[in-house]
């Protein structure tokens, strides 16, 4: 009986983790669309403002900390700071979302 309860508990935890990760990915996609796509393109390939392709090796080669800093503090003169507009968890999720553009 204990084994069945343990297995059921592990199954429930696994399902919750998958659902939570999926929800975070959807939230990041929505945040990207609302805050980033206008300049960086819906596909992350860059836009008319001369923004870089998120799949480019120099972008994908950045650490999560470097991408977090750019999103948080901005990159003048074109990239605005989002540290006061987004929660830390939203920024972390955006960094993960940017990684999905990797070729």
DSSP structural state of residue 75: B
Mean pLDDT calculated for residue range 59-71 = 97
Q: Mean per-residue pLDDT for 53-81?
A: 94
- CATH number of the domain at 45, please: 1.10.760.10
What tens digit of pLDDT does each residue of 89-98 get?
999 999 999 9
What number is the average pLDDT over the span 28-36? 93
Residue 25: pLDDT above 80? no
- pTM across the whole model: 0.73
Domain that holds residue 36: 2-99
Q: What would the mean pLDDT of 46-60 be, rounded to a whole number?
A: 86
Q: How many domains does the chain have?
A: 1
Which residues share a beta bridge with 79? 75
H helices within the chain, ranges in order? 2-35, 37-40, 57-60, 64-73, 88-99
**Cα dist from 102 to 8, 45, 54, 55, 57, whole Å:** 36, 10, 7, 4, 8
């Amino acid at each position: 009986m204990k084994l069945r309860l343990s297995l059921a508990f592990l199954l429930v935890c696994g399902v919750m983790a998958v659902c939570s990760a999926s929800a975070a990915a959807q939230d990041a996609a929505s945040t990207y669309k609302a805050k980033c796509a206008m300049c960086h393109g819906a596909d992350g390939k860059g836009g008319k403002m001369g923004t870089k392709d998120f799949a480019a090796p120099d972008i994908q080669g950045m650490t999560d900390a470097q991408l977090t800093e750019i999103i948080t503090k901005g990159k003048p003169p074109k990239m605005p700071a989002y540290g006061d507009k987004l929660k830390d968890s939203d920024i972390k999720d955006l960094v993960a979302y940017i990684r999905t553009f990797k070729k």
